[in-house]
């Protein structure tokens, strides 16, 4: 059963001793989504995460919509953390940040290139007092090159990276993904992958290092297959409705009622697909003998398949494609998938109790048998400032005493 589903204490910030990164400390000096979700994932993996907010607050607190006055975006991106306010532009705030970084294993920051250095919080400074630190910088366009100082956000990177121009109706130039934040969360996924690699490296060498991740590279990672098709195959995917670039048939077909989504990737599935349509002869048609041929002759293929699928309702095609071992499904929305038995039984969404009421966030993406992870509720802004600074100053005093004894 899900720990997350039964999480009821809204303000625990409880640590998970069994999770794989239990005992590691993360200092999260980031706002919006890409940086915050990086730290949230590390928190789900068991690390203790302290989020540092500027006095003006993370802008996601006001991003629409709000629930009981708090931006739902802030809640989703800051699970599994404690929250502290520090003015990094002032001497006191900077000193606190350095103290916290001295005791941290990982720092995550997403200021524009050069800002942390100007604040005296760059990697070179932090490394002097903490050589084991893994310091992850997340930027829009990367930290060198003509656009290194350009501001970025999810839709900007959808435009710059080519992500939006893979989508659309046939013949259209583009269709940007109106679910914004996806590139931010992709960037966070790449950042966590890279931070973990640096942690393993630290196990072997004893030294931390700087890790740089950009939304540009993450967006290209998401387009891995399309980029490879261009670089190695000389073909660039154009917007083509629901149809795949690499396989056919792999699209949504209108049925008697709603669309049925179906994917044929293996040659055995092609024969099964023809059986499901009750057209076994189609499997022997030389125009469609291999996947590359079916992709090239997609229009003729769809001309044959569309009228057949249109005669029966989606539920029939679910049954008959299912019986024949072909990937198929229907489109869902929030209200239908959140209670879907498949989603619930696998803890793919996590209802959590927050100070602003119950909120449903994404479930953890990995299910470890021996080191289970869970989503814990987000903190109130500034909730842990006093507690954390008290602990930090006590630690600093101890360190000083140890230092003077030596």
Per CB under 8 A, which of residues 87..106 are in contact with another protein?
none
> For another protein, which residue of 81, 82, 165, 384 counts as binding (CB under 8 A)?
165
Report how many residues bind another protein under the rule CB under 8 A: 175
Pairwise CA distance, residues 377 & 356, whole Å: 10
Nearer to another protein, 54 or 396 (CB): 54
Which stretch in 2-10, 101-109, 147-155, 396-404 sits in contact with another protein by CB under 8 A? 147-155
| Distance of alpha carbon 39 from the chain centroid | 11
Smaller CB distance to another protein: residue 11 or 227?
227
CA angle 66, 71, 76 (to 5 degrees): 120
The window from 5-13, 94-102, 320-328, 385-393 that contacts another protein (CB under 8 A) reads 320-328
Q: Which residues fall within 8 angstroms of residue 67, CB to CB, at 6 or more apart? A: 75, 356, 357, 359
Scanning 5-13, 37-45, 94-102, 278-286 for contacts with another protein by CB under 8 A, the matching segment is 37-45
Binding track, positions 217-236, relative to another protein; x by CB under 8 A: xx-xxxxxxxxxxxxxxxxx
77 vs 101, beta carbon nearer another protein? 77
Tell me: does residue 310 bind another protein (CB under 8 A): no
Identify residues 262-291 at the interface with another protein (CB under 8 A): 262-263, 265-268, 290-291
Please, which of residues 289-308 interact with another protein by CB under 8 A? 290-292, 295-296
- How far is CA 252 from its chain centroid? 26
**Alpha carbon distance 323, 243 (integer Å):** 23
Among 129, 319, 365, 393, binds another protein (CB under 8 A): 365
CB of 394 to another protein, least distance (A): 27
User: Does 75 engage in binding with another protein (CB under 8 A)?
Assistant: yes
CB-CB contact of 65 with 32 (8 Å): no
Find the part of the chain contacting another protein (CB under 8 A) among 86-94, 163-171, 280-288, 398-406. Answer: 163-171
Residue 156 in the binding site for another protein (CB under 8 A):
yes
Rg (CA), the chain: 25
- Maximum distance among all Cα pairs of the chain, rounded to whole angstroms: 87
- CA 340 and chain centroid, separation: 22
Beta carbons of 109 and 138 less than 8 angstroms apart: yes
Which of 353, 376, 359, 384 lies closest to 72, judged by CA? 359
Q: Which of residues 1-20 bind another protein (CB under 8 A)?
A: 20
Four-residue CA torsion sign, 296, 300, 302, 305: negative
* By CB under 8 A, residue 59 contacts another protein: yes
Residue with the two structure tokens 């024949």: 324
Which CB atom, from 45 or from 108, has the smaller least distance to another protein? 45
Q: Write down the least CB distance from residue 282 to another protein, Å.
A: 18
CB burial string 359-392: b at 16+ within 10 A, e below: bebebbeeeeeeebbbbbbbbebebbbeebbeeb
The answer to the question of residue 313 lying near another protein (CB under 8 A) is no
Could you say which of 87, 193, 302, 382 contacts another protein (CB under 8 A)?
A: 193
Least separation in angstroms between residue 397's CB and another protein is 30
CB of 42 to another protein, least distance (A): 10
- Closer residue to another protein in complex, CB, 330/399: 330
Per-residue CA distances from 207 to 42, 122, 134, 184 (Å): 19, 17, 8, 28
Angle at 311 between CA 305 and CA 312, to 5 degrees: 105
């Amino acid at each position: 059963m899900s720990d997350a589903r039964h999480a009821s204490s809204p303000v625990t910030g409880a640590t998970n001793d069994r999770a794989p990164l239990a005992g590691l400390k993360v200092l999260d000096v980031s706002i919006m989504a890409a940086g915050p979700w990086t730290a949230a994932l590390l928190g789900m993996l068991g690390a203790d995460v302290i989020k540092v907010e500027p006095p003006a607050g993370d802008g996601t607190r006001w991003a629409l919509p709000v629930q009981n006055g708090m931006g739902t975006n802030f809640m989703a991106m800051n699970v599994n953390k404690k929250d502290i306010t520090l003015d990094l532009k002032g001497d006191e705030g900077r000193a606190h940040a350095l103290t916290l970084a001295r005791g941290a294993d990982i720092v995550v920051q997403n200021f524009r290139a050069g800002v942390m250095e100007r604040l005296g919080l760059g990697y070179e400074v932090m490394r002097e007092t903490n050589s084991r630190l893994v310091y992850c910088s997340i930027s829009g366009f990367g930290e060198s090159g003509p656009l290194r100082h350009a501001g970025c956000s999810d839709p900007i990177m959808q435009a710059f990276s080519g992500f939006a121009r893979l989508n659309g109706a046939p013949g259209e130039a583009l269709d940007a993904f109106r679910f914004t934040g996806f590139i931010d969360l992709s960037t966070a996924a790449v950042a966590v992958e890279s931070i973990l690699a640096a942690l393993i490296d630290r196990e072997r060498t004893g030294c931390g290092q700087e890790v740089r991740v950009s939304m540009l590279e993450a967006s290209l990672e998401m387009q891995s297959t399309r980029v490879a098709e261009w670089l190695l195959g000389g073909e660039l995917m154009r917007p083509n409705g629901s149809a795949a670039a690499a396989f056919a048939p792999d699209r949504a077909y209108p049925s008697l009622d709603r669309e049925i989504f179906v994917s044929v990737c293996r040659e055995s599935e092609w024969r099964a697909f023809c059986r499901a349509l009750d057209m076994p002869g189609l499997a022997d048609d030389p125009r469609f003998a291999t996947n590359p041929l079916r992709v090239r002759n997609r229009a003729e293929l769809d001309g044959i398949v569309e009228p057949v699928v249109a005669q029966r309702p989606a539920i029939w095609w679910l049954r008959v494609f299912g019986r024949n071992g072909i990937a198929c499904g229907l489109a869902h929305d929030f209200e239908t998938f959140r209670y879907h038995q498949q989603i619930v039984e696998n803890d793919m969404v996590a209802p959590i109790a927050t100070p602003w009421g119950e909120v449903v966030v994404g479930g953890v993406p990995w299910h470890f048998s021996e080191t289970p992870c869970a989503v814990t509720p987000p903190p109130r802004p500034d909730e842990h400032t006093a507690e954390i600074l008290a602990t930090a100053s006590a630690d600093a005093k101890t360190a000083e005493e140890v230092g003077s004894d030596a």
